[in-house]
Amino acid sequence: MKRIEYFTRQEGDPAPLEKSVRRVVRFNEIDPMNIMWHGHYASFFEDARVALGDGYGIGYQDFYRQGYIIPVRRMQVDYLSPLQYGQEYEIKARLFYTEAARLDYDFTVLDLQGRTHARGCTVQLILDKKQNLLLAKPAFFEDFCQKWRLGQL
C-alpha cells in the first residue's frame, strides 16, 4: 500500500522532527468487537504530539507561557486495520517544517512488528490569548524554526 503523505516538503526544508510513544491497548479502549474503538485515535495522536512538542521545547505550555495558544484546526485519521486488546503499539509523530504560522504533524500507529494500523495528521494554528489568529510566527517559535533550518536542534 502506498504511504499517504499529508504534507508536501519544499526543497530546502529541514527533515521532519520525530518522536514516538509506546502503549498497550487497554480494556477500556476496546469496543464490543474486541478492537480499538476508533474515537481513541485522537488521544493517541495527542500523546505523541505532546511528547514531541515537550521534547523540543515547543509544547502547549511553552506556547502558553509566551502568550499563545495552539488549537487543533484540522484532524484526519485513516484507519487501516484495528488494534486488539493487549496489543502493544507505537505512535510516531512527525512535525513538518512550514513557513506558515502553524504546526503540521503526521502520525503513524504501528504494532511492534512494524505493521501500520492507522495514519493521520493534525494542523494547529497559532493564536494569541485573545484568540486572534497569527499570520506570522511568534518570535520564540521563529527562533526555534531558524535553528531547525540550520540543523542546530
For the stretch 104-141, pLDDT in tens is: 999 999 999 999 999 999 999 999 999 999 999 999 99
Q: State residue 4's pLDDT score.
A: 74
Q: Judge whether residue 1 has pLDDT over 90.
A: no
Give the CATH superfamily of 17-149: Hotdog Thioesterase (3.10.129.10)
pLDDT in tens, 58-101: 999 999 999 999 999 999 999 999 999 999 999 999 999 999 99
For position 144, what pLDDT does the model report? 98
- Name the pLDDT band for 3 (thresholds 50, 70, 90): confident
Buried b (16+ CB within 10 A) or exposed e, 107-144: bbbbbeeeebbbbbbbbbbbbeeeeeebeebbebbeeb
